[in-house]
Every structure is written in structure tokens, then in C-alpha cells.
Structure 1
Amino acid sequence: MATLSQMPPLEQLAITGRVAVTCVGRGREAHVDAMSSGRSGLTACDFPGVDFPCWIGRVGGIEDELFPGRMAAYENRATRLAVSALETEGFSCRVAAAISRWGSRRVGLVIGTSTSGVEKLENVYRNWSGNGPLDPAYSLRHHNDHHAVTSFLAEYLGIEGIGYTVSTACSSAAKALIDGAQLIRLGLCDAVLTGGVDSLCLTSLFGFEALELVSREPCRPFDARRDGLSIGEGAGFILLEREGDGPRLLGYGETSDAVSMSTPPPEGEGAQAAMREALGRASLDPEEIEFVKLHGTATKSNDLAESAAVASIFPFGPPSASLKGMIGHTLGAAGAVEAVLCLDAMESGIVPGTVGLSAPDPALALVPRIQSASGEIRRAVCNAFGFGGSNSSLVLGLS
């Protein structure tokens, strides 16, 4: 494994735009308010077709928002979330400005997702008689294909540069951000729209329930009584550019455990390596990091492994927190959504707490913050770890 001093330095790419939509609201003001007050957006599950008790992070009113008529073929819950984010705080105008600066062929697009528009197919099958063709409104290319959301964004925004989709479970959107940085470093793009989108769907809810990973109560990351996750939905976008004003992507790291399809190694060796790689690319020592945004799923094994990994890299204990008690686990979108929220906190002078945590597990190697507080964060690490041992770590900094 490369040491910190052996890692090639990373040009500090500009984050010229960002936005997130989650169950607590749309845009920066809503998320800053939720982080400041410790407000959770999780609610008792009312998603159609779910017959077991759980709590979810559902984005309210998404079904009723306007959807562009010219893009009607792509309409589903995931693309609705994407449109809601694009049209929040004028984010789509920032993308248009980047296209104007660099040209549509020099702007790339890399999006992470776990389920794309599978919710559309679920509804089609639920309403199918069992005879004859499926509803003609359903199209594999426009909905269930993992590239469907990315294709939608390219057409909707007029992006003609390199475009592809990353689907590595819960690290997807963080890896999309890393890929966007690499496209710029390689000279293939001058700007890249990155991020992630995932919507609530029966595939995710019943899938995690089958794995016995869904909590019957709002999730409690790193709590002694934690018993599983709460699934959420959302969209988070980050616009990376070769130059410009705004926060910086200082470094990144990614590794693969190759140990288990669903359980990380208890000491989190792969997560440790990803964080070390990210710090090396940022040319930073662990002591220079002022906050660690934990992946923090609230499952027994994941919190155990991440706490061991973070404590091994940051033994002096900078403030850390999980955001999933506030917004739920947005799966493939989590890496981007939570990076946006971390930047919102940094620019607003907030050190986030861990909603749902009240009795820290004494068996864990670290104790995350319980309550939010005022404080300056200039450099932060953001973790996103996925099934199959896919680990990603980002280092974000204010300019």
C-alpha cells in the first residue's frame, strides 16, 4: 500500500455548484436548519406495497411536482428527484454556465445509482393483468436501465461530453465524484456534473428487509441499541470544474475489500486504506482534518468496522458524525448527498451531530458527536462504503 508521501498530488478542483434534495427538504437552507436543530426527516413507512413496520426518508410531494413534458418518456420517481434537485437554488443554471464556458462536449457527466428507475417497473408489474404486453409507458432504456437517469440528465441539460453511470452500491455517488475528478485530471473534460440519485422502491425495502438489516424504529447510528438502517431517497449533485471559485475537492481514495458481499472486515482495513489514500492525494496529515463525516449506517457490523478504521487513522479523535439518522440511507446517492450536506455545514459554521444517537456503544472504537454545535471546519473527510467491499473516501476543503 502506498504511503502518504508516495501518493501523487491532486490538483485542487473547484466545486462550483452543489445541491441536495432529501426527506428534510430541498437545498442548503433546509439542510442547514435540520443539521443545526438535530431534526430528522424520517417517518413511519407509508410507501405503497410495504407490509412490514419500518421508518423511511421519503421526499414529500415529489409525485406532484411538475415534470418537463419534452422528457415525459423518462418520467419516474428517480428522475423526478433529479429534476427537483436541478431546479433547486438555480443549480441547472450553474450547469448551463459551465457548458457556456467550456462547450457542451467538454462537460462530462458521471452519476451514481443503485436502483435507477426500477420503481416504475414495480408499478407496471403491480398493475399488469398477467396477460398481454406490459404498459407501453414502460421502457427499459428510459427507466430500469442503470444508465437511464444519466441519459435523462444529458438530454435535459444538453451535456455532450463523456457520460456514464457508476453502480457500486452505497459508494456509487462518491465514486462518481472521484471519476469526475479523474476525467478532468486526464484532460478529457474541463467540467463534470457528478452526483447520485436513488428513490424509494420495493426492491430496496424488501431486499434489505430480507437481509434483516431494516430497523423497526428510526435508525440509531453507533448507538448501543442500534439494530439496522432506515432507507431514504434523494438526489445530490456536485459540479466540478478545472478552475473557478468555491470549495475544493482536495483528495480522494478508493479500495476494494474483496472479503464478503455484505459484511466488511471487522477492523475496516479497506476503509483505512481509502482514507490514507485520500489524505495522501490531499498532501494532508490526519491531524489536519477537523471533521469526519462517517458512513454510519446503524447496522451492527458496518458501524463496528468503520469505528475501528476511523480510530486507527485519527487516534486523536476529531469530531465525527453520521447523517443517516437525519435523512436515512440514500443508498447509491449517499456519497454525493452527504458530501453536499458536509459542505453546507462547513460553510455555515456547524459541526454536525448524529441524530438518533443517545447511548454510544462502548464496544466501538470512537464516539461520534451526539449534538450539533457551532464551530469551524476547513477540511473534512467524507466516507462512503458499499456492499461488496467498495470503499470511497473524499477530502473536502474550503477555499
Structure 2
Amino acid sequence: MFQAPKGTRDIVPPESHRWQRLVAVFAEVVGRAGYGLVQSPMFEDIGVFQRLGEGTEVVRKEMYDFFDKGDRHLALRPEGTASVVRAYNQHRPTVPWKVWYLTPCFRYEEPQAGRFRQHHQVGVEAIGSADPDLDVEVIALQHDFYRALGLSRLSLRLNSMGGPGDRQAYAERLGGWLGRRLGDLDEADRANADAYPLRVLDSKRERTVAVVADAPLITDHLSDDAAAHFARVQAGLAALGIACEIAPRLVRGLDYYTHSTWEFAAGALASAQNAVGGGGRYDGLAESLGGKPAPGVGFGAGIERILLAADAEGALGGASGSVAVFVVDVTGGDAGRDLTFELRRNGISADRAFDARSMKAQMKVADRSGAQLALLVGEEELATGIVTARHLRSGGGQTALARDDVVREVAALLADR
């Protein structure tokens, strides 16, 4: 029997109901700010993702890439931003282009808690404005999304990578400093010290973390424009009541970030794996993908990791039933069929049993469905034009409903629950 590949899993009901609620909350929060859904192919020309940076683990080791039957070198999407920026370049929409996405991401890495070789993200991108207030808007949307899910034990770490010139100058300074401490670094990080020094800051290895605690800080080497941008972002977050910790060694894992970078961590999770999403500004990415210069900012948030945090905090609720009403018909099925569709067409979620099963068997299915009400149709109900409503979650009391007025009466019963 075939199994899902290593590092992947099936999301099936009732767990998938929580995914639906999470995505619905996300769409509602960002939709109020004018962000519309964008869907792009899950594979692209590999060059789109190579712009993430040759020094990143994603590009060097983790991408799922292949040649198709036309000998085109393609790769499965490892993250959400690059594809959206490619789509922006291709379609040239009115700016600022404010969009959100829901996507699977693919990385060949060792599976861990909340992170799989196929994991899933929601995110937003805002392209076409360099205004630091747009950074504030995007960070605040991510913050408000988590709050809307019921997460409270969150912390925000914020940094600035400065402009492209600041970043390059800092990388050179950091590389020289790391070169003098090369023997103190973890052996696995030494190869990055010269070619990709910012990657060393991103290391979680204990020896390296201890060394870089004394490394030069990029926030001490920002241009005046970059410092003003960073100050405006901090002031905006403070005005909105969003607390943050300045984290001058936060670089995240991708090379396209400029100016603001940030990460949200869930205090309810173990510190080594507590990031639930982050983002940053990427003012040079559109140009690097062949388009005209277009500043942008966005974030991505991993669904699996968010649900782990929700479980740890008791937020979002557990898996729930998919319908409000379950129809039990032991008169042949016609009444159950018609009643089920009448309820659905009037906005009430409903299901029924099939295969002419017994009353006892159908009631077991009704109970497992998670429905609030079971509507029973037996020979007596059929003859007298009524439906018996049984309360499945509150003591099992019963109420006789007129068949001709069943939709209104069921709606009233559900409203009282």
C-alpha cells in the first residue's frame, strides 16, 4: 500500500476544518486592507528562485528542481514572494499592488515539528511603494491575523538591513570580522564566513551563536535614509500598540531583503522552533527578475507551525463538525434527500446517511458528524407532516417541527445554541 512521501502528509477532515477556519480568518483580516487573492503556478523557471540568493540553503540544497519534457529547467516553489513578484513584472498592475496568497511550498530538508518537505503558507505582498508606513501596515496585518486566531503569547523581533549599499558594506565588514574568528565558529559555518557572511548570523549552532554575539551590528552602520526609514517603522508600530524587540542580528534566510526584516515567535512553542512567520522589504527583487524597479514588502506565515502554536495556547478551537444538521430518514430516503437539499439551499449546512441503514446506525453517524441537531423522519412523522428535531449536544431533548415550516424553525433552534 502506498504512503505519503517522507516529509509530506494528508490533511483530512476533521483536521482540515481548522485549516479552513484559519484561511477564512486570514482572508478576512487582509481583505479589509484591500488585499486580493493571487494564485500563481507552483513551479517556475528555476531562475526565479535562484534570485533568492546563492548563499541560501534553499537554493544550494533544498529546492526540488527538474527538467520537463521540453528540457526546461524548472523548480517547485520553495517560498511565496518570488512567484508573486514575477507575476507583478509580467502583468504590470496598478501600484501599490496589494495581494495575498495561499500556497504549498517545497523544500528538501529534514522534517521537523510544524515544517514538512511540503508545507503551506499564507502571506501578503505589497509592491510599488517604498513608504515605510507600508512596512507598518504589513507587519500590523500579520500581528492582527495572529490575534484574530486567538494567539496571545507572541513576540515580534525587528531589524533593518538598510539599503543595498548598506547591506553590501556591512557584509564586507562582517566577513572580515568573522575571518579573524574563523577557528571559533562551528565547523559547519566556516565555509560561509567569507562568501556568505550574513548566513553565519542566521546559524542556530551554539558555538557560532556565541561568537556572533560580539559581531558588528548592521544597525550601527545604516545610511541616514535607511535610519530614517527604520525609525518611521518603529514609530508606526508604537502608535498602533504593537510591541517589538530590536534584533540587530536578525537577517532571516533569504538574500533579497532590504530595510525592514521581522519575525514573529510563539512563546507557547519551544524556542528552537517557535517562529510562526516573518517577512521584510525587498526593494531590488523585481528588477533582479527582469522587471522595472519596484519596491515591495511582504510576509509569509506557515500554517502548520501556526496550528501548533494554536494547540499550545488552546486557540482556534479543536476539530469541529462540518454540518449543523444531520437528517435521519427510515422511510426509504426520499424525505431525507429532499429535506437535506432544502436546508442547504436556505443556507443551513446539512448531511444525511445513505444505503437505507437502520435508525440506530444512522444516529451513530449523526453523532459522529458533530451536528447540533438531528432531524428524524419515520413513518409517523411522514404521515403527520412533522419532523422530529433531536438536540445532539445538549441533553438529547426533542422538538416536533412542522414540515412545511422546518427551515425557519431549524434556523431558530440553531440560533439558540
TM-score by length of 2: 0.26
Q: Which has the larger radius of gyration?
A: 2
